[in-house]
Amino acid sequence: MCNLYTENNYLMKIIIIILSTTLLFSQDFYPADSLYQNKNTGAIKRLSILPIMFWQRISYNNDVFNCQFYPSCSNYCAKAFTKYGVLKGSIISLDRITRCNPAAYYYHLKLNRPYYERDGRMIDTIEQSSFAKSSKSPTLAATYSLLIPGFGRAYSNRKWDAVFGASTFLLISNSAYKNFQKDNFSRASILGVASILIYASEIYGSWRAAKYYQIKKKQSR
């Protein structure tokens, strides 16, 4: 047990050194910085953008953390916070993070979605200017995930997104419950709020998937 603790402590020191070195030699300005410095961005929104600014100083200087989407998840989240506020922005951000999984390329290719010409990343913006009509009902999809998290995504033909979303919700909510049983109320409260936001993002993500991410129906002549 002592050896395990020593190994974990050693590993944490290595991670801290790597992160510190990355931050030391990183560039001076990142995309989220402009949103943070915008005079129209309120104090609460700025607080929500701070962790994103820190993350970009790591991800933008390490190829391992390169996002497959354009804009990247961090920029997507920062824009969601500044445009919609912390609550709705968190829900929209969690939906994007859920969709940023190994199956994302498969869905993007299947739907014949565009790619960013500079580096080939998959374009996925918050605002969708146009969408294909389909037989899937956004209201029904949202209702399904309201009853069973992830089920609405599966109904919208996003089964892998459903697996990732539902698994995340079950993992976090179960952890919140166990901490509550152990009288660790502070941690249980944080995890409980996270569970509620993830649950809400499943409902929103199911609605969005049914509305925007469908294969175009062939027009009848």
What region does 167 belong to: left with phi over 0, alpha with psi -120 to 50, or beta?
A: alpha
Residues 6+ apart with CB under 8 A from 120: none
Q: How far apart are CA 80 and CA 89, in angstroms?
A: 5
Q: Which two tokens stand for residue 157?
A: 């033909």
Q: For the chain, what are the domain ranges?
A: 131-221
Reduced to 3 states, what is the DSSP secondary structure of residue 117? coil
Residue-level pLDDT, tens digit, the chain, 221 residues: 455 445 556 666 665 555 555 444 445 567 888 888 888 888 888 989 988 888 888 777 777 778 999 999 999 999 999 999 999 999 999 999 999 999 999 999 988 888 998 889 999 999 876 555 667 899 999 999 999 999 999 999 999 999 999 999 999 999 999 999 999 999 999 999 999 999 999 999 999 999 887 765 544 43
Output the CA torsion 104→105→111→112 (10° steps). 150
* 8 Å CB contact between 164 and 175: no
